[in-house]
Amino acid sequence: MIRYTLKCDRDHAFESWFQSSAAFDTQVKRKLVTCPICDSTNVEKAIMAPQITKKGRDRTLSEPQQSAATQSEPSSTPLMMTQEQELRAKLKELRDHVTKNADNVGNRFPTEARKMHYGDAEHRAIYGEASAEEAKALSDEGIDVLPLPTLPEDRN
Taking the complete model, does pTM exceed 0.75, yes or no? Answer: no
Higher pLDDT, 22 or 156: 22
Give domain status of residue 142, yes or no.
Answer: yes
Q: Is 91 contained in some domain?
A: yes
Mean pLDDT (the chain) is 81
Same domain, 140 and 91: yes
Is residue 76 included in any domain, yes or no? no
In a domain, 59, yes or no: no
Q: Residue 129 domain-assigned?
A: yes
pLDDT digits (tens, 9 = 90+) for 86-102: 888 898 899 899 999 99
Residue-range definition of the domain harbouring residue 86: 82-146
Alpha helices in the chain (DSSP H): 21-29, 68-72, 82-101, 109-117, 132-140
In b/e form, how buried is each residue of 65-104, taking b as 16+ CB within 10 angstroms?
eeeeeeeeeeeeeeeeeeebeebbeeeeeebeebeeeeee
* Domain total of the chain: 2
Q: Does 86 share its domain with 142?
A: yes
